[in-house]
A and B are shown apart, each in its own frame.
Chain A
Amino acid sequence: MTYVQSLLGILISALLTENFILVKFYGICPFMGVSKKIDTALGMGMAVTFVMAIASAACWAVYHLILVKLSLEYMKTVAFILVIAAIVQVVEMFLKKAVPALYKALGIYLPLITTNCAVLGAALVNVQMGYDFFQSVFFGFCGGLGFTLAIVLFASVRERVEKAECPACFKGFPITLISAGLLALAFMGFSGLKLF
């Protein structure tokens, strides 16, 4: 398997067959929380993609250049979550100064990302799968794209579900979950899709 093929494999699996939300269940909280409207969903998705790619890079460096060298691999959870929290802070400050337009669009979603398990999940999966630096960043980025795809699709479903009638006890969250289930069912159709 060549390197390019491995990257394509990561793209397909992170986007469709092993979609972060609908198949792997990473990042369900923001998926449910910020999917009421398509534009907010898109904003959240972009913020997550952005942070996830950077966090994957930083966590890779921390793990391979610091923790492994000191044989402190067991500290990875603590180290990663600190790195992610710091990155979210830095990204927020940087955007505020450097790209105010982007900050305005993503601003309110950034603090929420620290506790988005998709970001920590991506960092942990990178270690588990033994990805190299570029593969890790790419995996983080594609995972974020998969997240965006799912959350935007779901938001557009939800905008319609809100207006539909359903039994009283299913109102609100349950019917949302059922719709998410149906979306996951659709994504199951991708399972088995493998290029190589």
Chain B
Amino acid sequence: MTRKQTALYVARLGLTLFLITALVAAALAAVNHITAPRIAAEKERKTQEAIEKVLPGGGKLVEPGRYDNQDGLVANVYESDTGYAVEVTPSGFDGAITMMVGVSRDGKVLGISIISHTETAGLGAVAASDTPDGESFRNQFKGLSGELTVKKDGGTVDQLSGATITSRGVTRGVTAALKCVAGMG
């Protein structure tokens, strides 16, 4: 093959690969165009549902400047007449747990709801599940205030069996939410 032929051949290889990539990119852009609004809406719906669960009636988003995010765990704060819903993202056993914590105006937990997590099925995942164990784990936080820790660390919160790290993460998230609300005065 002469040099010119080789160059042409390489150019053909490059062009083919480029065309395929362009085709794939175009297809993806089209699919994304359809799915993006739905994914955003789905996320928004889940967040609203979680707020509604811990702060009946829902709330309005609070500007980030109004609260102090000491541990870096607070993602968003929503406010209503009765209290606040604080979205926190503590780390669990396996990645971050995104959860909503309802806090009353006098600084007590109204309830918690876990939005998303990647904990181990059957162990850490129980914290977010609708099983009796999961419900009682989440409900025990109601009415608590101050610095919370699990029993294993000398605190008051019952950890889930086999999932101390998850329980610790959730407890740390609740504490961060309480601190955040307390700081807002």
Bound pair (A, B): yes
Chain A residues within 8 Å of B, Cβ to Cβ? 18, 74-75, 78, 82, 128-129, 191-192, 194
Chain B residues positioned under 8 Å from A82 (CB to CB): 21
Q: Are A75 and B165 in touch, CB under 8 angstroms?
A: no
Q: Are A129 and B164 in touch, CB under 8 angstroms?
A: no
Q: Are A75 and B25 in touch, CB under 8 angstroms?
A: yes
Expressed in whole angstroms, the Cα–Cα distance for A128 and B28 within the complex equals 20
- When C-beta atoms are compared, the residue in chain B nearest to A130 turns out to be B96
- How many chain B residues sit at the interface, stated as a range, is 10 to 19
Q: Are B96 and A74 in touch, CB under 8 angstroms?
A: no
Chain B residues within 8 Å of A, Cβ to Cβ? 21, 24-25, 28, 32, 36, 93-96, 164-165
Lowest 9 CB-CB distances: which A-B pairs, in order? A74-B32, A192-B165, A75-B28, A192-B164, A78-B24, A74-B28, A18-B94, A129-B95, A75-B25
Expressed in whole angstroms, the Cα–Cα distance for A177 and B180 within the complex equals 48
Could you write out 14 A-B pairs with CB less than 8 Å apart? A74-B28, A74-B32, A74-B36, A75-B25, A75-B28, A78-B24, A78-B28, A128-B95, A129-B95, A191-B93, A191-B165, A192-B164, A192-B165, A194-B165
- When C-beta atoms are compared, the residue in chain B nearest to A194 turns out to be B165
- When C-beta atoms are compared, the residue in chain A nearest to B32 turns out to be A74
Expressed in whole angstroms, the Cα–Cα distance for A142 and B28 within the complex equals 33
Chain A residues positioned under 8 Å from B96 (CB to CB): 129
Expressed in whole angstroms, the Cα–Cα distance for A90 and B128 within the complex equals 45
